[in-house]
Amino acid sequence: MINDIIKLDENLEVIKFDEAIELVKLEVDKTLSKSPLIIREYTKHLMNSRGKFIRAISVIICAGDQEDKIHPNAIKMAAAIEILHLATLVHDDIIDNADLRRGDVTLQKKFGKKTAVICGDYLLSVALRMATSIKNKKDYIDLMLPDYVGRVCLGELNQHINNHNLNLSIYRYLKIISGKTAALFEASYFAGAIFSGCSEAETKKYKQLGYFIGMIFQLTDDCIDFENTIEDAYKPVQSDYEQGVITLPLIHAFEQLGEFKAKAEGSGVTRAEINAAVKKTDGISFTRMVVKKYYNKSMRIINQLELTDYKKAQLISVLDKASRLA
């Protein structure tokens, strides 16, 4: 079935990039479709709204060696990170009371919040079990996935605590998304780097790159909430503020317009007023300026890494997709 496996010796096989991506998708689908019978209906439902696998793909890209081949252990870890991400989405939809995710009805909408909570917890346990099932795991002890899970959870809690906080600073907001979104991207790039066999110094650069791209991904998503329609985004838009979430375009508007902020603190503001304030203060342009700074930092790191032409192009492709440039 797998034609592109290249044998290096009796104990090690490496896989071509495209084949590795397909194997990750197969691993995730197998896990969701063959879960215990009591939960299988719910996990199979999640297969209908499978995303772009950007975190899993990032693991595989970073895992490429100097011949652009992938160690098979990276496949298992990429699948684990993708399932972990899916668990966070299930929980996010419960918190946000979301009806749609990637164009399909959410688990919590179709089966109820209690069922969705349990399914999210189950997926989290599956992801951690999968991550610890890789061969030679002692070689990858530095990859502390549970620590990253903790950072994601604390980021989500920090966001929840700051819901409706109209005094949220830019610095505090960036700290929130550094855990909520960037941590899992950092874990993806870190994991790939470890599997690639690069030096400790190079591994640190990959971690930093993953962090920057995670920040870009979230900040660009903040812009989408103002710019896209529900048909384009395949999920609810124009809804962050209604859920109590204060994002960077609106934080900038509050900092620039004292009367607007005072009204929000008092009688409240409508979605039309929010959109007008963000437009008046160029909140989208301001957020994209911050994105550009992270983009430039990311490119500097990419140019510092020892990469094949193919791997460099793949890393830039993910960076551009996170920035919505591709």
Which two three-digit tokens encode residue 238? 């124009």
CB 164 within 8 A of CB 102: no
Q: What is the pLDDT of residue 138?
A: 57
CB 20 within 8 A of CB 53: no
CB atoms < 10 A from the CB of 318, how many? 25
Residues of the chain short of pLDDT 50, as ranges, are: 1-11, 231, 233, 235
Q: Three-class SS of residue 7? A: strand
Q: What is the pLDDT of residue 276?
A: 94
Q: What is the pLDDT of residue 3?
A: 36
Q: What is the pLDDT of residue 296?
A: 98
Which candidate, 24, 27, 125, 26, places its Cα nearest to that of 84? 125
Q: Three-class SS of residue 238? A: coil
* Long-range CB contacts for residues 300-305, cutoff 8 Å, separation at least 24: 301/205, 301/208, 301/209, 301/212, 302/209, 304/205, 305/202, 305/205, 305/206, 305/209
Please, what are the domains in the chain?
Answer: 5-322 (1.10.600.10)
CA distance 86 to 80: 10
Q: What is the pLDDT of residue 240?
A: 80
Q: What is the pLDDT of residue 233?
A: 47
Its pTM stands at: 0.89
Q: What are phi and psi of 141, to 5 degrees?
A: -65, -25
